[in-house]
Chains A and B, each alone.
Chain A
Amino acid sequence: MSSITGDDVTIGHDEAHAHDDHDHKPEGFLARWVFTTNHKDIGTLYLVFALLMFFIGGSMAMVIRAELFMPGLQLVEPDFFNQMTTMHALIMVFGAVMPAWVGFANWMIPLMVGAPDMALPRMNNWSFWILPFAFTMLLSTLFMDSGGPAAGWTLYPPLSLQTGDSFAFVVFAVHMMGISSIMGAINIIATIMNMRAPGMTLLRMPLFVWTWLITAYLLIAVMPVLAGAVTMLLTDHFFGTSFFNAAGGGDPVMFQHIFWFFGHPEVYIMILPAFGVVSEILPTFSRKPLFGYAAMVYATASIAFLSFIVWAHHMFTVGMPLEGELFFMYATMLIAVPTGVKVFNWVSTMWKGSMTFETPMLFSIGFVVLFTIGGLSGLMLAISASDLQYHDTYFVVAHFHYVLVPGAVFTLMAGAYYWLPKWSGNMYSERWGKIHFWLSTISVNVLFFPQHYLGLAGMPRRIPDYAPQFADFNMWSSLGGFAFGLSQLIFVGVVIHCVFFSKQKATAQVWEGAKGLEWTVPSPAPHHTFTTPPKVTAGMVAHADDH
């Protein structure tokens, strides 16, 4: 193994002092964490940042659920309520889920393709360090005189243009997040395209690498579109243009088209890496190769393509021509086909395996079940005529939370438990991991399933108060919400225990059924890995080579 732990590293380092330091970690906090160009340390930074944002965005959700606990306004003014829903979504999407996936990409992609680091390490540092500034700025708007943004994360004008001067800071923060994401995406593409070890052909790459590669292209395609949209809002607000102002010859609906041209691929940006993680974990704990590897790659690519031509399914009530509505309905229904292929392949991967149910496996199974429920309600929403009833109700809130929370967030948890031993060198507490899983799974359903009933029964979304007939299910939902929020603290405990206190050392392989290059390096993964590229042969990856 000495060839891959890399004892004589030369990349980007001052060699004078580092020679006998086995790990070659820079000394001192600043050098190690602020000026770092190491993919593992940057990955850790991203993950810690994302977890912090998850709790900040989560507290806002707690405020929302507390106000909705019963009818009447008890806690906050409606305008502040709207700031909470808007900020909650912006923080969760751009601050928690997306950076968490970039963190996983940083840590795992070089390890999975046998590369010594990311292709562009300095840019990597920059793309991370933009984020704390972007989110500090975004959060600071809550303390400004004119308050934070309150028009929903979709920022529809003309309403968003009624935001006060803080709007400029919101737009600038979105620009910074966009720059960070684009740089991250370029780095990932460059790494995957150029730095794969010999023998790691494209169709041998682990699915997580594939899904991230496709995600990175989506990011590059749509983040500039979002940047353009918010820039037009900025000039409409402050410089007297009328892009979206009907009175000045503009078109407020145009904004929605542009936003959702970004927004629909964006939802796949959050979920494709999740598909990848699950496609790694299920084979490991089923001790059986991934079923239909090639089909999985092609399904991911078709989902990515289709995601560009379905955006107006978010706009069925906006008053489009009939032909347009039909087109977007058919295209949206079509997405269910490759999505179905994925679900069937995951089930077939488990079929006739030899399964064990460690925490990563539990979260992955939870994902397959609950994401499928979210996908099925998505199929319902695609039926445009009945969407005229569903749209902008709690039914939609339930749908997208099923795909995002037990969808994206559960796989983030699954991935974290799966690779934590590799990152830290220690095993986490399986017992507490399982407690975390069961509490999360029960509470997330109590939280979101009743929202389907509320929406169907006629409760609109984004309201701070409601008619008493909606009281029972809102109370359930809030109780589920508080329980889910508290359960996530267990995760923090498990991670801290694992990293700093756990006595149980992890082996290189960690999991009996694990395959892939990341399991060939020691645990914890040394600061530098694969400085001499490994030779990849068939059978080393988590899927059969015979597609």
Chain B
Amino acid sequence: MDFIRDNLPYILAGISVGGQYALIAIGYTMVYGILRLINFAHGDMFMIAGLMGVYAVTWMPLYLAIPFVIIFTVVLGFLIERAAYRPLRNAPRMSVMISAIGVSYLLQNLALYVTGGLTKTYPTIPWISSTITVFGATTKVVTVITPILTIALVVLLMILIHKTKIGMAMRAVSRDFETSRLMGIQIDSVISMTFIIGSFLAAVGSILYFSNYTGVMPTAGAMPGLKAFVAAVFGGIGSIPGAVIGAFIIGICENIIKGMGLTTFSDAFTFAFLIIILIVRPSGLFGEKNIDKV
């Protein structure tokens, strides 16, 4: 109990950042589930969403800026798929991966050009940036609402996937393009839908994440993106519940390590963790066996 009491602020921070990783990780895992593609540009989409948040508040009131950021990110995700992945639908998978890496650099360089390389300060969103006290630990409201919002969105997503017609089509397409086509499913729309959902969640994640960490720079997507990716691999890439659980575990471990005064090692931990998973259990917590990994 002492351990929990002493570490409460770190555990809280861990749950919060875990929720933010989860929102990014879902985008990785869903795209992988359908296209068997690791969308390297996903972390940069997250960064662009953050940057858009910085600029949007200078153009419009906050209550419009938030939906604007979300819509902008969704449209961007949709367009990236259309422009960079769809034309390569029948190409070898390696070509699509290279295209994804290209998009990633393109977004980073665009951001570098627009910001001039300066770190931009994320706007303060009233209420969610204010501080509260939970079990004697002082923290921001965003820390508390992140896991709640994350879980709520994940539940909605699971309902969409398991109870609706489009969800059924998504599950079918993720298994077998050709037979799905024979059912009359429009593969391309289902894939677009996947990118739309992934981008939407990344945009929500960016608002929560940058409200906490405030600085947005062109490489700001790299670390959270990588950690979310590790979470997705840990959970078994392709599995949504796996990615969410993986993200929470990584967020919490990372912050407890920080709490022990080993901040410098917290990132190293995540990647050491990735290597161990890949060696010990390459299919992850909930992953299917026998699917080829890229």
- Tell me, yes or no, whether A binds B: no
Interface residues of B (CB under 8 A from A): none
Interface residues of A (CB under 8 A from B): none
